[in-house]
Structure 1
Amino acid sequence: MAPKVLVSDKLSETAVQIFRDRGIDVDFMPDLGKDKDKLAEVIGQYDGLAIRSATKVTPTILEKADKLKVIGRAGIGTDNVDKEAASKKGVIVMNTPFGNMITTAEHAIAMMFAVARQIPEASASTHAGKWEKSKFMGVELTGKTLGVIGAGNIGGIVCDRARGLKMKVVAYDPFLSEERADKMGVEKVELDELLSRADFITLHVPLTDQTKNILGRENLAKTKKGVRIINCARGGLVDEEALAEMLKDGHVAGAAFDVFKEEPAKDNPLFNLPNVVCTPHLGAATTEAQENVALQVAEQMSNYLLTGAVENALNMPSVTAEEAKVMGPWIKLSDHLGNFIGQMTDEPIKAINILYDGSAAELNLDALNCSLIAGIMKSINPDVNMVSAPLIARERGVKISTTNQNQSGVFEGYIKVTVVTDKRERSIAGTVFSDGKPRFIQIKGINIDAEIGRHMVYTTNQDEPGMIGMLGTICGEHGVNIANFTLGRSKAQSEAIAMLYVDGEFPQGAIDALKATGKFRQVQPLEFDVA
């Protein structure tokens, strides 16, 4: 029997025809996604569900989806899909991360022109029968310095277009190497330098704990007087209230926003201010982009349903069914190893060197590599997945090398990853025990045996008496319950490390107290997906 797919949002007829041409039975009901009760009623009939943003795939929907194997989102954002519930149900969630890059980059450039020349206000004035030529004095883009925060896929296109406009481009991106910056023809700088030099600032980063309010009040105060700020990336990257104040006092000359902290934005501090251009999240709203992502998701879903090929999956690796049972724990280990490195590294990564030893070297290393690299990069880009991560790493100039070797130690097999930056090398190794649980077995060349939990803390200190007691006392004083405590040292009275598995988020007060002792060189809270 042919696989059956439901299209519950407005995908193009061409995309729907792709399913039919591939021999898949498809029902095209573009308004069904808005009716959650009706969707829940019929979803049990389908092997695949193709959606945009109108359909909300909740645990309730998934509970009824007894046949469902794959959800395909035409676009990059999957906030409307409960991915944890989908994973538990065994449903693959795919997206199309590259279909709207050019469209979003072009919108940012268009917004920059609009705010530079006050085009919306001038248009409204002229439509009103006024002729206020002297009122709308603009500025040229040629020769101006554009500061690009985030030089990944979309940011990289913006850099290229801006150079074509004869702008000077400076970029801040922790994952941008000097070599990659040179190839792009941009100057790599730290954030403070970008803020002080840029005439225009455009943001192209995801919203994470690290990037939230990256242009907050303090950083906005560091900007050059007369700067113009463009945000077509994510709401929440800019403190909108602080920006509104600086627009009113003249420090910021203009702003152009396509995204807002709260959407749909019915009321916002930026609304109705002079020389502020606002659009209703139109970054991907072109006919070409909408068609591209629709065609792409239809092809991806068809490939999976007919051949088992997995592309752009957000919740599983590219692994065959035969490999999945053996690979599962090692995939999880590789993700944990990468996640550790990603959370510990805030410098541009030049190289990722991965060593597979013993039984680990006999597995599907492509899938393990993808999982590990995704783990490293998702700390700065939560939209990354195991398919896109290696491509993104290569685009940023990161060199990836893999080495296999026969069993060389006490473990039947293990994985070791070493990351190289301009300042240091950082390494971690892990294995899977016979119970199927991943463990960290070495950090910085120091042997340990650390169980991996959702909330962990990594510390370094000089090996001396009393450190364990001090660490435990401070944790107790701040209500931290330690589930597991692992120590290691290279030799007596040298550097020592500790990995704590704790029952909840490690409070900032405990971090500050540990650092205030002057004994702990590093105190780093860590989080791992152990579901």
Structure 2
Amino acid sequence: MFKIKTLNNISEKGLELFPKDNYEISDDFNEPDGILVRSAKMHDMELPDSLKAIARAGAGVNNIPIDKCSEKGIVVFNTPGANANGVKELVLAGLLLSSRKIVDGIMWTKSLKGKGAEVPKLIEKGKKNFAGPEIMGKKLGVIGLGAIGVLVANAAHSLGMDVQGYDPYISVDAAWGLSRAVNRAVSLEALISECDYITVHVPLLDETKNMFNKDTFALMKKGVKLLNFSRGELVNNCDLKEAIKSGIVSTYVTDFPSEDLLDVENVITIPHLGASTPESEDNCAIMAVQELRNYLEHGNIKNSVNFPDCEKERSTDNRIVVAHKNIPNMVGQIATILANADVNIMDMVNKSKKQWAYTIIDCDKKVNKEVVEKLKGINGIVLVRSI
């Protein structure tokens, strides 16, 4: 019986996928096998020895201590693409909001309360102050062509925009989903300097933090509209405010408000609504539960942020999985211990991801606890499971 601890409210459409005869679900287990989490902060949590996996119902994992989990052999999953459509739709709304001064117009209209019969005339007289261009025919630059970026690029093209895409690390799956009408930018600098609108869809990493700064703003066309529905820290706010003041950026739309931007003219702050749809919450929960089940029941890994994707259909009823440092002779040492225990390897797969690796081995017989302990004794191995 697997014990699953929930740290946030998780959609029932996901939780109902756990078979009741093999899983228990609660928010107060002390020694769970798996954890389901959304936004709860886990950095100060004590991670019990029983914990085998954490599944984040969402894409960002800043709330999870990834390095600590890796050292303990805890696989951390996220759900890339599960909320992509919800974010895409909000980005499209952001494109329109950045052009048509809709927010300013609505606020001004509310200020007319009490004007009575004068309201229609006042609106006709004042509406010219909120005019803005159409997006059709304008050039949109999409930085990052993952699950969300591809959907945004395709949708913007269908709305008549000239779309330029840039992603030096685009995956095969993303490339298959990208419309052939989306043009490839030869460089980030070329995209930034040519586009009327720019939307960014990259993860927050050391190399992407403050990627929009005074140097990148200096390359942009005068009056560019910038949209950030990825992470607030991708933009240097001090440099952004200078770019707005000088007229380089005409509008900045972000789903990640910070205190210093709330009163800045031409900044539209949306309260992190990208994935705030019932459909997104259901999709994320369903994917997270599927990932947990596939790992706990079969040892397969898909969409992990700390260990490599490693999946294999069972060729026998006896399987061991090993998480270990990506160093020489690990597989050889594992094979030797199994051979000495008269365990025959029927099939196996080994994958690596930076400093970590993962091995799935199907055996001709069940591996006993003594062999498992010998495997755990190999320097560099952080997890051994017999499934």
Q: Secondary structure at the match of 2:207?
A: coil
What are the superposed Cα offsets for residues 89-122 of structure 1, whole Å, 9 maximum, x if unpaired?
A: 3322222122111212221111111111111111
Q: Which ranges of structure 1 fall in alignment gaps of 5 or more residues?
A: 30-38, 335-361, 377-384, 387-434, 438-531
What are the superposed Cα offsets for residues 431-456 of structure 1, whole Å, 9 maximum, x if unpaired?
A: xxxx989xxxxxxxxxxxxxxxxxxx
TM-score of the two chains, using structure 2 as the length reference: 0.75
Q: Is the 8 A contact 2:154 2:179 kept in 1?
A: no
Judged with a 3 Å threshold, the aligned counterparts in structure 2 of structure 1 residues 203 and 249 are, in CA distance, closer, same or farther, namely same
1:212 aligns with 2:199: no
RMSD, matched Cα: 3.2
Equivalent-residue separation in structure 1 for 2:238 and 2:156 (angstroms)? 28
Equivalent-residue separation in structure 2 for 1:47 and 1:436 (angstroms)? 24
1:135 aligns with 2:121: no
What is residue 278 of structure 2 aligned with on the other side? 287
Match of 2:265 among 274, 277, 281: 274
Cα distance, 1:214 vs structure 2: 2.0
- After superposition, residues 486-497 of structure 1 pair within 5 angstroms as none
What are the superposed Cα offsets for residues 486-528 of structure 1, whole Å, 9 maximum, x if unpaired?
A: xxxxxxxxxxxxxxxxxxxxxxxxxxxxxxxxxxxxxxxxxxx
Cα distance, 1:24 vs structure 2: 1.1
Match of 2:250 among 238, 244, 253: 253
1:96 aligns with 2:79: yes
Equivalent-residue separation in structure 1 for 2:21 and 2:181 (angstroms)? 43
Equivalent-residue separation in structure 1 for 2:88 and 2:278 (angstroms)? 15
Judged with a 3 Å threshold, the aligned counterparts in structure 2 of structure 1 residues 272 and 100 are, in CA distance, closer, same or farther, namely same
1:53 aligns with 2:47: no
What is residue 8 of structure 1 aligned with on the other side? 7
Equivalent-residue separation in structure 2 for 1:333 and 1:98 (angstroms)? 34
What is residue 356 of structure 1 aligned with on the other side? none
Q: Is the 8 A contact 2:82 2:280 kept in 1?
A: yes
What are the superposed Cα offsets for residues 21-48 of structure 1, whole Å, 9 maximum, x if unpaired?
A: 4631112x4xxxxxxxxx6xx422x222
What is residue 302 of structure 2 aligned with on the other side? 311
Match of 2:289 among 290, 298, 319: 298
Greater relative contact order (Cα 8 A, min sep 6): structure 1 or 2? Answer: 2
What are the superposed Cα offsets for residues 308-353 of structure 1, whole Å, 9 maximum, x if unpaired?
A: 333322333426895645x845x4569xxxxxxxxxxxxxxxxxxx
Q: Which amino acid in the other structure matches residue 304 of structure 1?
A: Y
- After superposition, residues 439-454 of structure 1 pair within 5 angstroms as none
Judged with a 3 Å threshold, the aligned counterparts in structure 2 of structure 1 residues 69 and 193 are, in CA distance, closer, same or farther, namely closer
Match of 1:75 among 53, 58, 81: 58
Q: Is the 8 A contact 1:22 1:302 kept in 2?
A: no
Cα distance, 1:59 vs structure 2: 5.8
Identity %: 33
Equivalent-residue separation in structure 2 for 1:50 and 1:69 (angstroms)? 12
Equivalent-residue separation in structure 1 for 2:175 and 2:282 (angstroms)? 31
1:186 aligns with 2:172: no
Q: Which amino acid in the other structure matches residue 47 of structure 1?
A: D
Q: Which amino acid in the other structure matches residue 51 of structure 1?
A: V
TM-score of the two chains, using structure 1 as the length reference: 0.55
Judged with a 3 Å threshold, the aligned counterparts in structure 2 of structure 1 residues 106 and 22 are, in CA distance, closer, same or farther, namely farther
Q: Is the 8 A contact 1:118 1:275 kept in 2?
A: no
What is residue 43 of structure 1 aligned with on the other side? 30
Equivalent-residue separation in structure 2 for 1:156 and 1:82 (angstroms)? 29
What is residue 138 of structure 2 aligned with on the other side? 144
Cα distance, 1:277 vs structure 2: 1.0
Judged with a 3 Å threshold, the aligned counterparts in structure 2 of structure 1 residues 310 and 202 are, in CA distance, closer, same or farther, namely same
User: Matched residue pairs, number?
Assistant: 325
